[in-house]
């Protein structure tokens, strides 16, 4: 307690020390006989939380609340006692923290939404409530090792999902980084140890480099007459792991900029840009790595210039440039509102009060919004992977990060999205594929008679937009898809000696949840949303199962050279068929992966010859069919797709699936999975297709397998 008092007096000589000591004495008496899991007296925790808040130079009321925050929850103390001894303001703050103590994540969605509501209502009344709660969580995470493993995981997940993003949203990025890293240590200790090992390896090599780079930057500042402090800082393991894309490869972790960043703290805003110019004159800037958060601050008030340059020996160096006042906001976030200096509240022109944001959420809920909708809104607001844009009338539209004006249009109304022909962002005309940023104003341009383009599917990000576009495209091309679907289903039913009558298709539609609209069934089949096998199975599950079982038995007999009990499957990389020279690679267990002899993947096993198995196809005609994906580029004219299906049918081959991609006004590409019996059969199908004037290209599509 003496250490805490000494710390408070360094920034607030006018602090009411008697009041602080009275709060300590009351908490000490209330928690008498209580111990933490670590065996320490319980009073250690509230004093530690208060000390953390004192590091942020916060006011007396916040520090006293931290000392008392567990008294009402865990002891015989009451709210009336707190009012009588410490006043209504502190009683309200303690009460707010107490109400958040039972905040749980592992409950159903409605309960989660209610807990979120309590959290934000408490924050809207006084932001210091959540400040105490955040520092309470920080100390608990720093001492989490004393808890049982199950509770550690639960607390860490809750911290990673809720408290860390909330700290970041409130501008306390340092706290977010530490909370995430402490959670990372519990949730994925192996990954963190791996990052730490490589950090130590790289740090040992780079320490001299860091000091040299810091000196170089400081030297440039002095030469330009800029008064600035320059220092290098090591990044946290979780931050590095996330930046590396959660990959565990040494190749992606070999640059100085992977673990170190540099900061230049100047006196004035003008000096920030002056310093940036000096750095860019001295070193070459890396394209696309410059951000000006001074002219366009983040929503939590963060301001800084970010750049990456090629420093000594071409090494990448990340630099942040900001003033001391901006740095204060970057370090403290919302806590800067209650910070003191020399006994007076600090005035910082760059700080942003997020109380308006929290208050807006509370009003949103109190307006009677559906609980689930409120829950989604809160999550959108809290997480940094969202953007918030405005309509010309000032209405806020919330979208995922990476969203485009198309997503914005459909978020307003499906009718507006379908009629969209263009967009203006902040008054300037932009392409529909433009990625929107926080705070931008978006105006959607519409026109009568406009209809969605197939390329919109790749532009849109939100599920709502993609679904509406697909539905509109399906309706626009319904007739063509119905014809194609009828051709696909005819071949599938003929394989089991059945006919695809309208009555049969109506039954299939009912079983697939499409009512009795068999044309809708055919349309979805033709557009690739369902497969012909799905339709057959919906009507004749036994026959479809028997056919599949029969094919499976036939396929098992099709390969010679396997040991008794060994199973096999075709490699998706080359998808060999009878008639092609094959070889097997044994897999963990008893299975064998069959590859064509010219498959590039076999090069990966050149040093593992003990896994190679010499295989041959069973001679003679095979009754089993083997699916081969064919990528076909054809003209976008009426009847062409139907003609392609007819040509395949004439070669006694069946189409089991269709996927469309890369649609253009003149040509488009489709992936057809064609079932053939052998390589000669495949060649006949491809030759027939290549001979058609409307088919520009036919090629056998081969995918890359994941490495074992």
- Asked if 264 and 217 count as a contact pair (C-beta separation under 8 A), the reply is yes
pLDDT over 70 for what percent of the chain?
80
Averaged pLDDT for residues 210-214: 85
Pairing between strand 616-617 and 612-614?
Answer: unpaired
Task: Report pLDDT for 279.
Answer: 94
pLDDT at 708 over 60: no
Topology of domain 2-187, CATH:
Hypothetical protein af1432 (1.10.3210)
pLDDT at 517 over 70: yes
Beta strands in 243-285 (DSSP E): 260-266, 284-285
Task: Report pLDDT for 362.
Answer: 55
How many of the other CB atoms lie within 10 Å of CB of 367? 8
Residue 307 banded pLDDT, cuts 50, 70, 90: very high
Task: Report pLDDT for 643.
Answer: 81
pLDDT at 378 over 60: no
Task: Report pLDDT for 658.
Answer: 78
Cα gap 351→328, rounded to integer Å:
9
- Asked if 177 and 236 count as a contact pair (C-beta separation under 8 A), the reply is yes
Task: Report pLDDT for 174.
Answer: 86
Closest CA to 267 of 324, 221, 350, 349: 324
Surface-to-core class of residue 403, CB atoms within 10 Å of its CB (0-12 exposed, 13-18 middle, 19+ buried): buried
* 20-34, 134-148, 446-460: range with lowest mean pLDDT: 446-460
Cα gap 582→201, rounded to integer Å:
45
Q: What is the DSSP letter of 592?
A: E
Task: Report pLDDT for 203.
Answer: 66
Task: Report pLDDT for 49.
Answer: 93
- Asked if 192 and 160 count as a contact pair (C-beta separation under 8 A), the reply is no
Pairing between strand 284-285 and 305-310?
Answer: antiparallel
The active-site residue out of 74, 331, 376, 443 is: 74
Write out the residue limits of the CATH 3.30.70.260 domain(s) in the chain: 626-700
* 301-315, 515-529, 590-604: range with lowest mean pLDDT: 515-529
Which CATH superfamily hosts domain 626-700? Answer: ACT domain (3.30.70.260)
* Residue 293, both tokens: 């958060």
Q: 346: which residues sit within 8 A by CB, 6+ positions away?
A: 57, 328, 336, 339, 340
Question: 1.10.10.60, 3.30.70.560, 1.10.10.10, 3.30.460.10: which CATH number matches 190-345?
Answer: 3.30.460.10
570 beta partners: 594
Question: pTM score > 0.85 for this model?
Answer: no
* 93-107, 129-143, 216-230, 403-417: range with lowest mean pLDDT: 93-107
Task: Report pLDDT for 409.
Answer: 94
Residue 221 banded pLDDT, cuts 50, 70, 90: very high
pLDDT at 275 over 80: yes
Q: 503: which residues sit within 8 A by CB, 6+ positions away?
A: none
Interval 137-160: pLDDT, tens: 999 999 999 888 888 998 898 888
- Asked if 491 and 525 count as a contact pair (C-beta separation under 8 A), the reply is no
> Per mean pLDDT, which of 187-191, 369-373, 463-467 is the most reliable?
187-191
- Both ends of the chain: CA-CA distance in Å? 58
Q: 122: which residues sit within 8 A by CB, 6+ positions away?
A: 96, 99, 100, 129, 130
pLDDT at 605 over 90: no
Task: Report pLDDT for 179.
Answer: 93
pLDDT over 90 for what percent of the chain?
18
Averaged pLDDT for residues 285-297: 85
Averaged pLDDT for residues 653-672: 75
Task: Report pLDDT for 367.
Answer: 46
Residue 239 banded pLDDT, cuts 50, 70, 90: confident
pLDDT at 251 over 70: no
Active site (annotated) includes residue 580:
no
Q: Taking the mean position of all CA atoms in its chain, how far away is CA 72?
A: 39
Residue 109 banded pLDDT, cuts 50, 70, 90: very low
Overall CATH class of domain 385-475? alpha beta
SS3 call for 168: helix
Averaged pLDDT for residues 311-324: 85
The active-site residue out of 25, 32, 73, 534 is: 73
Residue 478 banded pLDDT, cuts 50, 70, 90: confident
Residue 249 banded pLDDT, cuts 50, 70, 90: very low
Active site (annotated) includes residue 666:
no
* Residue 535, both tokens: 């339709």
Task: Report pLDDT for 269.
Answer: 93
Task: Report pLDDT for 250.
Answer: 45
pLDDT at 627 over 70: yes
- Asked if 436 and 389 count as a contact pair (C-beta separation under 8 A), the reply is yes
Write out the residue limits of the CATH 3.30.460.10 domain(s) in the chain: 190-345
Task: Report pLDDT for 380.
Answer: 47
Task: Report pLDDT for 458.
Answer: 83
Write out the residue limits of the CATH 1.10.3210.10 domain(s) in the chain: 2-187
DSSP letter string, 604-644? GGTT-GGGEEE-EEPSS---S-EEEEEEEEEE--TTHHHHH
Q: What is the DSSP letter of 692?
A: S
- Asked if 546 and 575 count as a contact pair (C-beta separation under 8 A), the reply is no
Averaged pLDDT for residues 170-192: 88
**Who wins on pLDDT, 282 or 102?**
282
Cα gap 134→159, rounded to integer Å:
10
Surface-to-core class of residue 457, CB atoms within 10 Å of its CB (0-12 exposed, 13-18 middle, 19+ buried): middle
* 84-98, 396-410, 532-546: range with lowest mean pLDDT: 532-546
Task: Report pLDDT for 159.
Answer: 86
| Angle of the 640-650 helix axis to the 478-494 helix axis, nearest 10 | 10
Average pLDDT, the chain: 80
pLDDT at 363 over 50: yes
Interval 379-397: pLDDT, tens: 545 554 567 788 888 787 8
Averaged pLDDT for residues 160-173: 80
């Amino acid at each position: 307690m003496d250490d805490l008092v000494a710390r408070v007096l360094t920034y607030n000589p006018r602090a009411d020390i008697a009041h602080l000591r009275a709060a300590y004495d009351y908490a000490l008496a209330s928690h008498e006989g209580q111990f933490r899991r670590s065996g320490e007296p319980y009073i250690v925790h509230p004093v530690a939380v208060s000390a953390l808040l004192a590091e942020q130079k916060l006011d007396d009321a916040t520090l006293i609340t931290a000392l008392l925050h567990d008294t009402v929850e865990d002891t015989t103390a009451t709210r009336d006692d707190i009012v009588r001894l410490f006043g209504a303001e502190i009683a309200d703050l303690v009460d707010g923290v107490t109400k958040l103590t039972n905040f749980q994540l592992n409950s159903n969605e409605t309960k989660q939404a209610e807990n979120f509501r309590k959290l934000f209502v408490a924050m809207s009344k006084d932001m210091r409530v959540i400040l105490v709660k955040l520092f309470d969580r920080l100390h608990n995470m720093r001492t989490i090792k004393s808890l049982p493993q199950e509770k550690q995981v639960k607390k860490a997940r809750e911290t990673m999902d809720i408290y860390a993003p909330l700290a970041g949203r409130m501008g306390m990025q340092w706290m977010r980084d530490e909370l995430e890293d402490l959670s990372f240590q519990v949730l994925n200790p192996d990954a963190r140890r791996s990052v730490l090992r490589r950090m130590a390896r790289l740090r040992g090599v780079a320490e001299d480099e860091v000091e040299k780079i810091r000196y170089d930057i400081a030297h440039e500042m002095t030469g330009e007459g800029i008064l600035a402090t320059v220092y290098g800082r090591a990044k946290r393991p979780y931050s590095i792991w996330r930046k590396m894309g959660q990959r565990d490869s040494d190749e992606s972790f070999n640059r100085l900029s992977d673990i170190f960043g540099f900061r230049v703290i100047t006196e004035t805003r003008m000096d920030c840009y002056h310093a940036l110019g000096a750095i860019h004159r001295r070193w070459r800037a890396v394209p696309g790595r410059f951000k000006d958060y001074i002219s366009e601050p983040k929503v939590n008030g963060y301001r800084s210039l970010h750049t990456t340059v090629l420093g000594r020996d071409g090494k990448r160096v990340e630099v942040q440039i900001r003033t001391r006042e901006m740095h204060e906001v970057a370090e403290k976030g919302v806590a800067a509102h209650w910070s003191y200096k020399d006994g007076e509240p600090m005035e910082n022109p760059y700080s942003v009060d997020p109380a308006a944001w929290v208050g807006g959420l509370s009003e949103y809920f109190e307006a009677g919004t559906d609980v689930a909708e409120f829950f989604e809104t809160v999550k959108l607001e809290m997480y940094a992977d969202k953007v918030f844009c405005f309509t010309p009338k000032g209405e806020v539209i919330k979208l995922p990060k990476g969203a485009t004006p198309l997503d914005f249009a459909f978020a307003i109304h499906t009718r507006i999205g379908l009629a969209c022909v263009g967009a203006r962002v902040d008054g300037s005309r932009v392409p529909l594929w433009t990625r929107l940023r926080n705070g931008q104003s978006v105006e959607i341009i519409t026109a009568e008679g406009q209809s969605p383009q197939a390329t919109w599917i790749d532009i849109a990000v939100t599920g709502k937009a993609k679904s509406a576009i697909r539905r509109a495209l399906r309706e626009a091309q319904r007739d063509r898809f119905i014809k194609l679907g009828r051709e696909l289903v005819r071949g599938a039913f003929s394989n089991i000696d059945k006919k695809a009558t309208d009555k049969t298709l109506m039954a299939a539609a009912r079983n697939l949840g499409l009512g009795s609209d068999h044309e809708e069934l055919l349309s979805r089949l033709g557009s690739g949303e369902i497969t012909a096998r799905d339709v057959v199975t919906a009507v004749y599950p036994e026959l479809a199962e028997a056919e599949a079982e029969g094919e499976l038995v036939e396929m098992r007999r099709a390969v010679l050279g396997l040991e008794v009990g060994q199973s096999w499957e075709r490699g998706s990389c080359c998808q060999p068929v009878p008639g092609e020279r094959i070889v097997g690679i044994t897999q963990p267990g008893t299975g064998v992966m069959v590859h064509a002899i010219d498959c590039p993947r076999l090069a990966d096993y050149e040093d593992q010859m003990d896994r190679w198995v010499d295989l041959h196809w069973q001679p003679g005609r095979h009754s089993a069919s083997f699916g081969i994906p064919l990528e076909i580029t054809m003209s976008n004219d009426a009847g062409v797709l139907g003609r392609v299906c007819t040509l395949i049918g004439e070669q006694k081959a069946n189409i089991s699936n269709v996927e469309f991609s890369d649609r253009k006004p003149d040509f488009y590409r489709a992936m057809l999975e064609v079932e053939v019996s052998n390589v000669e059969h495949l060649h006949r199908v491809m030759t027939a297709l290549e001979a058609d004037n409307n088919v520009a290209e036919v090629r056998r599509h081969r995918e890359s397998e994941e490495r074992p």
